[in-house]
Structure 1
């Protein structure tokens, strides 16, 4: 009798599912399937939508795309460890996401696209 084999891919998939479930339960954030996401563009930079906010911030359901700190930095043309949106009008959502460049789950933040857009316009003058 052999025991079932647990692979690294199984562990990663399970952790991704746990993170998605926690984001939904705690913050009403839903993951977007890769084929269903939109391209979010500011200036000449673009990123793929991975998360969407379904919370009520006092004006009804939000429905706005959320971007990671790395995506926000890319859209704003920033390549540093500084917070890409220092004063978001809608509080950022802290979570843990898979960083494929590092190959590990690391703390990250999700920003509303409107806050990133506002920061972009502010930088443009």
Structure 2
């Protein structure tokens, strides 16, 4: 008996499971392909992949969330353990598809305002 597994279906299923858990546990939503906003800090830009749907005390947040890699790239840092040293809003840990390792790894999501604040601190 041969069992065929389509890797694309497996990845799509896992990404759906991650999205459902992120919403259920943290009120975080992934953006649909091609629907994310372009986020710019200084001369660097990236595309929104996650958005915060949590209420931090003043209504639904709606702020873009950046992966560790996106935050580091916008801040001009690569391979940095913590691109945002003192986040004001909760950092969310979710599984992310990491092309560098060829699979899913735990990653952090940072609010755009915290990344922007870190950029402004570095600018002096």
Give the TM-score normalised by structure 2. Answer: 0.94
Asked whether 1:115 is paired with 2:114, we answer yes
Alpha-carbon offset, residue 80 of structure 1? 2.4
User: Quick one: distance in 2 between partners of 1:106 and 1:118?
Assistant: 26
* Matched residue, 1:93: 92
Q: Tell me the secondary structure at the aligned position of residue 120 of structure 1.
A: helix
Alpha-carbon offset, residue 52 of structure 1? 0.3
User: Quick one: distance in 1 between partners of 2:88 and 2:104?
Assistant: 27
State the superposition RMSD in angstroms.
Answer: 1.3
Query: Unaligned 5+ residue runs, structure 1?
Result: none
1:75-119 C-alpha deviation (Å, 9 max, x unpaired): 000112320001100110011100123211011000000000000
User: Quick one: distance in 2 between partners of 1:94 and 1:81?
Assistant: 17
Q: How many residues end up aligned between the 2 structures?
A: 124
User: Quick one: distance in 2 between partners of 1:109 and 1:101?
Assistant: 16
User: Quick one: distance in 1 between partners of 2:101 and 2:40?
Assistant: 25
* Stretch deviating more after TM superposition (63-72 or 29-38): 29-38
